[in-house]
């Protein structure tokens, strides 16, 4: 069997004036709750839970339901979404920070950033509290937008609230819908976690331990992304 060699690439450095953070899967690991709730919902509607879980991440609940049950009236989706939000808000068992999230949030304290999440305000508060992460002062939650990700509305509103041009923002996202929303907003996207890699983020990291945050000239934010060593077969 041929030996292998380990190669590394130089760290990527991205600069921005503001950071826009998704919550679930990006800074908070809530997969246990999401999967419990949506598996039950899928089974109760005669759907394959594994197939359902492929589309739930990143969207508001009503939008997920519309994808999975396209012929159902939207008012039914909205009513069931309210029930789902209440259940998810009450269930914080297994909600933990994504690896590196506490240090990352401490590093961006005082820098322009916003939370842009498909959760409503109550669910966002419950999960950030359960993960012991500080809640950003600027927040765009489900109540703030008329369209769910992958629509870019949430990220554009986050940029506007911070007074920063979209091109000067970096989005942190884990899901296909969220990455698509960030790109549609004209922003660069750092994809976080295993779901993100396949959906075309600007750069991908396994978790937030791979990032270093510093400030550059005139208050710019510098994100250094350390590449993972890769083993390649020796020739």
Active site residue 174: no
Name the helix (H) or strand (E) containing 176: helix 176-184
Active site residue 24: yes
Task: Pick the catalytic residue from 24, 120, 151, 168.
Answer: 24
Which residues, in sequence order, are CB contacts of 217 under 8 Å at separation 6+? none
Residue 32 CB-density burial (10 A; 0-12 exposed, 13-18 middle, 19+ buried):
middle
d(CA 170, CA 231): 30
Closest of 30, 178, 164 to residue 93, by C-alpha: 30
Task: Pick the catalytic residue from 22, 31, 151, 174.
Answer: 22
Active-site residues: which are they?
22, 24
């Amino acid at each position: 069997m041929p030996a292998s060699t380990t190669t590394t690439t130089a760290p990527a450095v991205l600069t921005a004036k503001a950071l826009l953070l998704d919550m679930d899967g990006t800074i908070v690991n809530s997969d246990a709750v999401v999967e419990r709730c949506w598996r039950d919902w899928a089974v109760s509607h005669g759907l394959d839970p594994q197939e359902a879980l492929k589309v739930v991440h990143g969207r508001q609940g009503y939008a997920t339901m519309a994808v999975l049950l396209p012929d159902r009236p939207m008012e039914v989706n909205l009513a069931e979404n309210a029930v789902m939000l209440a259940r998810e808000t009450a269930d914080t068992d297994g909600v933990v920070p994504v690896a590196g999230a506490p240090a990352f949030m401490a590093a961006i304290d005082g820098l322009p950033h916003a939370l842009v999440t498909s959760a409503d305000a109550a669910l966002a508060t419950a999960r950030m509290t359960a993960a012991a992460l500080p809640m950003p002062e600027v927040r765009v939650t489900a109540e703030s937008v008329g369209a769910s990700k992958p629509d870019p509305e949430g990220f554009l509103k986050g940029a506007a609230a911070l007074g920063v041009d979209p091109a000067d923002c970096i989005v942190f996202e884990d899901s296909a819908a969220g990455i698509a929303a960030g790109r549609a907003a004209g922003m660069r996207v750092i994809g976080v976690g295993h779901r993100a890699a396949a959906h075309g983020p600007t750069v991908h990291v396994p978790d937030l331990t791979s990032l270093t945050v510093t400030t550059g000239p005139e208050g710019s934010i510098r994100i250094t992304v350390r590449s993972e060593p890769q083993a390649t077969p020796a020739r």
